[in-house]
Structure 1
Amino acid sequence: MYAILDIETTGGKYNEEGITEIAIYKFDGHQVVDQFISLINPERPIQPFVVNLTGINNKMLRSAPKFYEVAKRIVEITTDCIIVAHNASFDYRILRTEFDRLGFDFERQSLCTVELSQKLIPDQKSYSLGKLVRSLGIAISDRHRATGDAQATVKLFKLLLSKDVEKNILKETVRLETKRKVDDKLLKLIENVPSSTGVYYMHREDGTIIYIGKSKNIKKRVTQHFTNDNRKSKNIQAEVVSITYEITGSELLALLKENEEIKLNRPKYNRALKRTKFDQALYQFTDDQGYMNLTVKKIDRRKTSITTFTNRQQAKSFMQRWTEEYNLCLKLMGLDQGEGNCFNHSIKQCNGVCILDESVQVYNNRVQELISNHSFGSKDMMVIDRGRDIDEQSVILIENGEFKGIGYFNLNHQINNIDILRTIITPMHHNPDAQHIIQSYVRQHKKLKVVALNKD
């Protein structure tokens, strides 16, 4: 649990500043679950430059509560939380100073979004909150007021969590949080995960990830882990002390994140899942008459395939479907080994290419259409799917035929510029497994929106 906050002060000499405004958003890693916002009478004058910067003046604060009047609420909302702030050392120091004046030892763990941003979003021109969030497309209002800055920090932290592919933030969080050993440990762990689509991470006591999985219903899948009695499940049950998760909204994004992060983190109990299982690929060749033929063969890494399949039966099923969809010839699809014309020509569903009764160009155009629709080639495109919320969509970026990463954008925004997409996505690795996952998913989900991108 995180307490994401921002503090405005009077300015002045080091450790003599007073708080003029505070905003705290209690964040569970997915959404804000509580908040506290208040002006505070600092009982000391505000520096003129601070008045100009924030718009908060001494007159506004005369009837505001003094710090000791809100101290209890601040303690309550930050208990068992890690303090998160942009330049956390400043905000945390100011809080501790105020509590010291009351004779109370205020101590919390903290994370700084400046430091996290420098690690996870390198090469930015500026890491000041205003410039950074604007460059990332995050809306910010009421700049230099606690509410506006804290809300922007919540959105920034949510983006940083999604970009933290090695899960260092989560590992550190789990390590820092106090563990409570209870007899019904597994039951409590199940209660704390959602029935949503996403990726989940099972941690050992030191924060190490021991298992990564994905599911359309995380709670249901975790329950299965904890009710199975096979050796691996029993070992997981014995070692797990915490479960973190990331809601993706899209099953496709969950599959890609699982694939990426198992390879990056190499969890102890994912050893059998390092490689996605597929062994058949679609290839094309041109015959002596100039017609393009398509054939399914066992994957040959030395050759460039059009797409891949989990097994030969799946491949045959799609070949049959595409034969009808693109009005292709059974013989040139490798589905009819007989002499003479193919069976589909007999029932007038083939234009006669099998007996050289259709022009090479006309037939090959339809084959090229199939290839274009089901291969990455050298395309620049994005795949759009459902997001985590009702007003959000997810996006997968393919650039020059390579998978680049995943991200989210607001439903009301129309994004078709690669430069903007590069900014909002979490970079991921292109590999045969990721390519198979995307192509296979798109084949089976016809309602997905696939959009060509223009680099101009």
Structure 2
Amino acid sequence: MLPFPYVILDLETTGGTPLHDRIIEIALIRFEEGIESDRWETLVNPGMPIPPFITRLTGISNGMVQEAPSFEEVAHKLYSFLEGAVLTAHNVRFDYGFLKNEYRRIGALLQHRVLCTVRLSRKLYPQHKGHGLDAIVQRHGLHTDGRHRAMGDVELVVAYLEVARRELGSRQLLDAASALLKDPCLPARLDAAVVDRIPDSPGVYFFYGKNDLPLYIGKSVTLRSRVMSHFSNDHASSGDMRIAQEVERVEWTETAGELGALLLESRLIKEHQPIHNKRLRRSRTLFSLAVADGPGKVPLVNIVTEEDIRPEVFELLYGLFRSKAKAVDALREIVRENRLCPRFVGLEKGYGVCFSHQLKRCNGVCAGREAPELHFLRLKQALIPLRLKSWPYPGQIGIREYCKSSGRAQLHVFDYWCHLGTVDNECDLDELLNVRSVMKFDLDTYKLLLKNLGKQVSVIPLGPQATQQPPGIQPQPAFALHQRV
């Protein structure tokens, strides 16, 4: 059917994750110039129990594989069948991923050209919705007594290719297979033509499954390369493997640079909560240490929540913590290391001399042995490493990004560490600056700005304070595209 050597292969496994599960059966048929030249099948001892649902599905039990060879014992023979041939399977990423990981465990590297017959079915029969093996069996009236056994499924794929050859002709089958071999690493349900249109420019990409909720949102300065990397990482990442199994379409939004991609990714992950995003997904409550404005106010430190973490009072705030317990632990450590009074600071309640002073761990402000002013000064000095950075501009600013390859320019507008929005032109900028919006502090945005303001970026003062230039900032138009950014 196909003029080059190919091996149609199927595996049965203990589960769906190549990094953790194992092969329990292998079957293959090798073809030379379209003619069957050899076939082989074997049970494999996985070295782990077979789950009951796998036994119910395949009929393969623990007793059946107890005396079977291990994968290491059959690896050389298997490779002799695969050598010089295109590895062909229905959803080949699944089988190829298991084989690569099994060979990796024995210190060997498997690298083969692969052909997915699910993607081939989509290319040959685009008018049909289902392209799984059961759908193909029903569509073409195929039959087997060995469904969900490795050789039974191999023979179904062979029969399906023969039906396609008779219905569509050898030339169309070969052309479709040759086209897929040029880009073999995509998941079976992903449209290669769509992926080809993804630009290698900065932006954010979205992986979708069966519905309109994104499975995963990511960013990159080279979108297409990053998307492809999810599907060509040798199945070394269980996260990428799960995404590949579920993804059915990809969409993207271009930005003018990396900062725009980072800001958009952070916002959209918090809005949509994709199941495969973990790092930025949760928008937890923040806590900070608020210091009194003088030594006479006890307690000297209060732990405040996100509602009170406002950039305009950063000079009184120290540290940002994901939980109240972490804030308390940090304060307790500062008190211990600097012989401060836990009662004055606010870690203990009560009156009179604190217990730490009795243990000689407090300099004695609670016992009248240290001036409150000196104690307060030592507290503020001890907190200096946790001091939040005050907003270094008199008002709103824009950070301009420009992408030479796409010609796209964007201005990211900030005020007091808060991202007000991103605009593409002067009209949108005017509208954004004239709308009074509630500013909400976001830790991820704060960290991004701290990092980027230390670089050579194009910062533009905006709003009524635009004439009050910080040192080194010269007036410039917001969308002068060809200035260096």
Q: TM-score range by the shorter chain?
A: 0.3 to 0.5
The structure that has the greater radius of gyration is 2
Normalising by the residue count of structure 2, what TM-score does the alignment of the two structures yield? 0.35
